[in-house]
A and B are shown apart, each in its own frame.
Chain A
Amino acid sequence: MFDVIVRGGLVVDGSGQPGFQGDVAVKDGRIAAVGRVEGEARQVVDAAGRVVAPGFIDPHTHFDVQLLWDGAARPALEHGVTCVVPGNCSLSLAPLKAADRPRVVGMFQQIEEMPPEAFTTAFDWTWEDFAGYRAAIEKALSINVAPLVGHSVIRLWVMGPAAQERAATPDEIAAMQDLLRQCLDAGAVGLSTSFVDIDENGRPVPSRFAQFEELDALAAVLGEYGRMLQCVPEFYATDITIARIDQFAELSLKHNIPTTFSPLFDTSAVPDNAPRAIARVEEQFARGARVWPQMQTRPIDISFSLLRPSLFFARLPRWVRVLRLPLEARLAALRDPDTVAKLVADTGPDGGEAMMGRLILRGGDAAPAELAGKTLSEIAKARGQVPAQALIDLSLEHGLDVAFLSASQGHQSTDRIGPMLAHPLVHIGASDGGAHIASFSTYGDTGYLFSEFVRKGRHLSLEQAVAKITGETADIWGLKDRGRLQPGLAADIVVFDAETIDREAELPTFDMPGDGMRYVRAARGIDTVLVNGEVAYANGAYTEARAGVVCV
């Protein structure tokens, strides 16, 4: 007697090989048989007309905090994602001394745009070390988690405030090595670092103060375990990205470790950016190095209102400072003529026409319905104002609850991106799941892969696309127990309709702690998701199953 049999589907097993009609049987959380399965099961999932695939793996997320109150990392799981990798970009929630929590929370808020309530109202800080954090999230996981440990927090633990001031001493580097070993022993699947991020005060994050020798020493520890080194490079500058590829290639070769960098964007502003980076990756792989570029599937769209800080204003520090003020102080600042004059001036001599004119007013908020879909330039002209002034005044007239969409910021050419996603050395990832929650939805990239690049663009076959986000991802990360439908492996399974799988429209929702807002996309075409053999999502609803684990 099996626990579950998924019957009669097109089995696409994550290897990239052609799919075949068959069944998948599950026993004790593991795949027991694949093919024509005889026998009975306590539960049968009818997969007729559907694809049966391994659960999808999302290798670049920031679900570190959300997992403490939401063990499904919603809505990631309903999109078929059964394993997420948090702890990217040098930031994790462990190891972290109690005294350093405010500092790291500030970094999460600045870099990942997470609301302060997420760190203050939804859970108790019960840990300092990595094992303690693991125990805290493992209490109620319904999705699997393969966590990275952040270089910045390791540095902070060992060096205290000096982590953001200077190079480490040999003794401090040795202490970091020991601490990294503890984290890897406790379930971390690798180390993340950052070369670009700043904290809420504009100060570079601790990892950026590290000499190359420090990173080399930490990579040596990763080599003892064969674990991953991840970084966010200076993705906006091709020459620097290539320099990082070269640095990581040397570490990969020297310590025999996989490395990955994310994101790699395509942009019409610098059309040779991604092709040059990929060409360098090809050269480094030819030498035997493993440097996997992560590329996201979705175009870059940013939504925002003046209710909260947004990535949209990243290059306008005065705007960021004002939007970080408490609501009453923010309203006062936006009503102050001198402050507004400076804000408008910051957007350029054209009053923001070039920077903001193409913004589209979103519907569904407090703004007048008749303005929905109009550009800020159109709205500003009708008001006799420049765009930046119109944005501020219109927002003030409606309690700041006026949302704008900055569409097509880059990475939007399906014809250019499709072949790159299909490239054998390009790792599909970089979703940023759980981060930038008030700027865009980081959920649904897998559905978009199938709708845009399999069905519409035909850049990847169904089997290739599945392999990219399952078997190949598991191989890259050394997740030996995941990513394929093979007897003996963990039974992470997704049943979906190949003709309809997609992401739904991006909508604001208010399900964050403290009624905080985030943008989400629901899934389309996902029937059933099993995690470690238990049905975690079916028929449009989450179940009570809590079979997720920290997987290594």
Chain B
Amino acid sequence: MSLPGGETISASPALSRQRRFVTPGPDETVEALALRALPGQPVEAAVDAIRSWNLHIFAMRKPAGLLLGSDVVFVEPPLG
């Protein structure tokens, strides 16, 4: 499940693995989300990674990068 701070549902053993994701918390910035989703990484690297995996938010949307509460934000690249 994708509740803020929680594991994504793709971790459930009953399901095949899919891309992990989180949803933004209230007023959460991309920097805060990146640090939450990718702990231990430098913030700039984490933000760059989140941006590159979520072009639907950071490239296709206008204004680009507007985080919405309902967004699916992937925390890993597409599965091979």
Contact = CB atoms under 8 A, between A and B. Distances in A.
A237 B54 CA distance: 11
By secondary structure, the B interface counts as loop
B56 A234 contact: yes
A167 B27 contact: yes
Given A166-B26, A166-B27, A213-B3, A243 B19 contact: yes
A215 B56 CA distance: 21
Interface stretch (A6-14, A203-211, A354-362, A494-502): A203-211
Contact of A210 (B1, B16, B21, B69): B69
A201 to B, nearest CB: 11
Interface string B44-63: 00000000000010000010
Interface in B1-33: 1-4, 8-10, 14-16, 18-19, 21, 23, 25-27
B26 A167 contact: yes
Nearest to A241: B72
Contacts of A207: 70
Given A250-B9, A287-B14, A240 B68 contact: no
B56 A209 contact: no
A396 B70 CA distance: 43
B78 interface: yes
Given A209-B69, A212-B70, A234-B72, A243 B56 contact: no
B69 A167 contact: yes
A167 B69 CA distance: 7
Nearest to B14: A287
Contacts of B66: 204
B56 A249 contact: no
Contacts of A403: none
Contacts of B10: 246
A208 B18 contact: no
Contacts, number: 76
A239 B72 CA distance: 10
A204 B66 CA distance: 10
A212 B2 contact: yes
Contacts of B9: 246-247, 249-250
A239 B8 CA distance: 13
Contacts of B19: 239, 242-243
A283 interface: yes
Given A213-B3, A283-B15, A239 B70 contact: no
A411 interface: no
A477 interface: no
B70 A215 contact: yes
A337 interface: no
A220 B79 CA distance: 33
B27 A247 contact: no
B20 to A, nearest CB: 9
A213 B1 CA distance: 12
B25 A239 contact: no
Interface in B64-78: 66, 68-72, 74, 78
Contact of A208 (B8, B16, B70): B70
B75 to A, nearest CB: 11
B21 A243 contact: yes
A234 B61 CA distance: 12
Contacts of A212: 2-3, 23, 69-70
B32 to A, nearest CB: 14
Given A167-B27, A234-B56, A283 B16 contact: yes
B70 A211 contact: yes
A346 B33 CA distance: 34
Nearest to B15: A283
Contacts of B69: 167, 208-212, 214
Interface in A162-218: 166-167, 195, 202, 204, 207-215
Contacts of A286: 14
A374 interface: no
B36 to A, nearest CB: 15
Interface in A256-296: 279-280, 283-284, 286-287
23 contacts: A166-B26, A195-B72, A208-B71, A211-B23, A211-B25, A211-B26, A211-B69, A212-B69, A214-B69, A234-B72, A239-B19, A239-B74, A240-B56, A243-B2, A243-B19, A243-B21, A244-B72, A246-B1, A246-B15, A250-B1, A283-B15, A286-B14, A317-B62
Q: Report the 9 A-B pairs with minimum CB-CB distance, sorted nearest first.
A: A167-B26, A211-B69, A243-B72, A246-B9, A208-B68, A208-B70, A239-B19, A167-B69, A240-B72
Given A167-B27, A212-B23, 7 more contacts: A207-B70, A208-B68, A210-B69, A211-B25, A240-B56, A247-B9, A280-B18
